[in-house]
Amino acid sequence: MSMKNILLYSSFVIDNYIDRMGKSVAWLTTLLMVIICIDVMMRYLFSMTETWILELEWHLFAILFLLGSSYALLHNKHVRVDVFYEKYSNSIKDLVNAIGVVVFLLPWAIVVLVHGWDYMANSFSFREGSPQPNGLPARYIIKSFIVIGFGLLALQGMSELIKSVYRRR
C-alpha cells in the first residue's frame, strides 16, 4: 500500500469518525433547548432558578461548540471570509485551505492543546467543582472537553490538509 493510499484512507477514517460524532453531539442541542425552556419557565412563572441549571446550560453549550467545531470544518460550515475565496478555482481553494491549516489551524490547535492539557490536569488534580453554592460538582470534566475538542479539530485539520494536497495532484 502506498503512502498516498495510507494517508487518504486515514483521512477517510477521520472524516467518518468526525461525521458520526458530530451527528451524535447535535442531539445535545435538543437537550440544551429543553433545559433552557424549563429554566426560563421556572424563572418567569415561579421566580426561581438554580445555579446548577445555569451552569449545565453553559457546559452543554461548551461541549456543542468544542466538539462541533471539527464537524463544521469537515462540512465546510466554519467561518470564512468568502470575498475572494468563492471565485477561486478548486486548485487555488485547495492551496488556500492547505496553507490555512498549516499556518493557522494546526499551530493554534497545538497551543490550545498544550495549555489546555495543563489547565485540565490542574483541574483534575484537585477535583475542581463550581465555586458557586449549588453549582455543578465536577467542573474538571467540562475542562477535559477543551483538550478533546481541539484534538478532534487538529485531526480534522490534518484530514483537510491531506485531501487538499492530494486533490491538487
Q: Say whether pLDDT at 113 is over 80.
A: yes
For the segment 65-93, the average pLDDT, to the nearest whole number, is 87
Cell of 75: 462540512
pLDDT category of residue 1 using cuts at 50, 70 and 90: confident
Indicate the number of domains in the chain: 1
DSSP 8-state assignment for residue 104: I
Q: pLDDT for 6-25, tens place per residue?
A: 999 999 999 999 999 999 99
Is the pLDDT confidence value at 168 over 70? no
Length of the chain (residues): 169
Q: Is the confidence at residue 149, as pLDDT, over 80?
A: yes
pLDDT (average), residues 101-106: 96
Q: Give the orientation angle of helix 139-167 with respect to helix 90-100, to 10 degrees.
A: 140
Three-class secondary structure of residue 5 per DSSP: helix
Q: Domain range for residue 126? A: 3-167
* 3-state DSSP percent of the chain in helix, strand and coil, to 5: 80, 0, 20
Separation of alpha carbons 161 and 100, rounded Å = 9
Count Cα atoms within 13 angstroms, Cβ side, for 46.
Answer: 8
Region 156-163 average pLDDT = 96
Residue 169 confidence (pLDDT): 54
